[in-house]
Amino acid sequence: MLRLGLFGGAFNPIHQGHLLAAQAAVEALGLDRLLFIPSGSPPLKGDAGLVAGEHRVEMIRRAIAGAPTFEACDLEVRREGKSFTIDTVRALKSLYPADTEMTFLLGADCAHRLARWKDIAELRKLVSFAILARAGETAPEIEPDLPRIETPNVPLSSTLLRERLESGRSIAAETAPAVAAYIAEHGLYRAPSPRARIERALLDIRPRVIACSGGIDSLLLATLAHRLASSETVVAHAVSPAVPEEATRRVVSWAEQEGWRLEIVRSGEFADERYLSNPVNRCYFCKSNLYAALKDIAAALPGEAILLSGANVDDLGEYRPGLDAASENGVRHPWIEAGLAKADIRAIAREIGAPFAELPASPCLASRLYTGVRVTPERLRAVEAGEALIRARTGIEVVRCRVRDDELLIEVGDADRRHITDALTGEVLAVARRSAPAISAARLDAESYRPGRAFVGAPR
């Protein structure tokens, strides 16, 4: 009768801690052979950051060379789709004699997920389980009936090795020389590019509903997410008087070209007096309404869909009450998780040839109203019409028509101020008054354009 140990894991990469744990299991259980089984695409973890399966199998083979009890098994990395242990065990049962006793080795940090494994009842009949626990570490009493195998308490992890490699440090003491040489030969685990970092973040968040305003940040996030996992990505775009019509047209057009599943929603902020009164934290109420609407979309999807926003690292240095609403609603920000700023986003957009790579920043139209100026559809249409007229007449890309009391203030950069003539200002006032007759004057602001100027009393 063959006593066979099954040691599954990412092995990304394999290190000395894995080998010591495996040897401890062989000795404790009297195993005749132990299979290292690198995972394919694990169902209960993301697969971001995993190097190709053939690399991980080869690193295992090199690490165990000369150890006759150990063997590399590539069943899971050759299997397409998600990798389930029950499928692997069924396959192994067909390959080994019927009286083979199989024991699956389970890391102590994974024991709490065992009950969630696919077909766990059948799996418990096909194999025994044993938990690998580091010496001296106290783990919660999960699966108390399973035997514990004490393994050497070596402070090693694959994450630690990857971090050392990404920062250019040696891993000679942490893994077999042949493994270190293979990693160097194939250039594995180098510091990831910005695009690789965001793709890694997105692969770890599935399924997802992405809030897409029509700006470059959310457009690119949705584009990359859809291309990586289209079946697990829904893009949602909110329409309201505060959203420029051009932004909606841009989202709809790009969604059709890319084949997105696009949901158009009305988030309902214009029925919220807290938003309409335009306090300094107006964005908090806007985003709270938006995320409530997106949660309804997420709830209708299979699995536990996560809401994503296009916020990036640059946003953390500004007053953004909408981020508080995001936190309260469990919204995640992949650009921030990947440590990427606007310049990185534009670079990635150029890399993939996105037509919106140079799209200027353009927050919602309500951001043009000074704090305390009531938000009305009429004022927002006036702002949108005034800015469109200036862009058409001058070609200025970054322009803001802000409303303070009953006056419309035109903001442009230093180099563009000369283009805002008295005649053009008169035209802007005329077109604005068609929507909002209460606007009585328009002029070039005494100061040049500065983001967020209309937030009066915002924390610094």
CA distance 261 to 258: 9
CB of 257 closer than 8 Å to CB of 226: no
Torsional sign, CA 431, 436, 439, 442: negative
User: Strand order in 262-265's β-sheet?
Assistant: 262-265, 233-238, 208-211, 306-308
Q: What is the DSSP string of 91-147?
A: HHHHHS-TT-EEEEEEEGGGGGGGGGSTTHHHHHHH-EEEEEEETT-----SSTTSP
Report all structural domains of the chain as residue ranges with CATH numbers, in order of start.
3-154 (3.40.50.620), 194-351 (3.40.50.620), 365-444 (3.30.70)
CB-based burial label for 46 (10 Å; 0-12, 13-18, 19+) = middle
Residue type, 376: T
CA–CA distances in Å: residue 315 to residues 224, 311, 319, 451: 20, 6, 8, 11
> CB-based contacts of 35: which residues, under 8 Å, 6+ apart?
4, 5, 6, 7, 71, 72, 73, 92
pTM: 0.66
pLDDT in tens, the chain (460 residues): 999 999 999 999 999 999 999 999 999 999 999 999 999 865 444 455 788 899 999 999 999 999 999 999 999 999 877 778 999 999 999 999 999 999 999 988 788 888 889 999 999 999 999 999 988 776 556 778 899 999 998 889 999 999 899 888 899 999 999 999 999 999 898 878 899 899 989 988 999 999 999 999 999 999 999 999 999 999 999 999 999 999 999 999 999 999 999 999 999 999 999 999 999 999 999 999 999 999 999 999 888 899 999 999 999 987 889 999 999 999 999 999 999 999 999 999 999 999 999 999 888 999 999 999 999 999 999 999 999 999 999 999 999 999 999 999 999 999 999 999 999 999 999 999 999 999 999 999 999 999 888 988 766 5
According to DSSP, residue 20 is labeled H
CA distance 193 to 184: 18
CA distance 459 to 441: 30
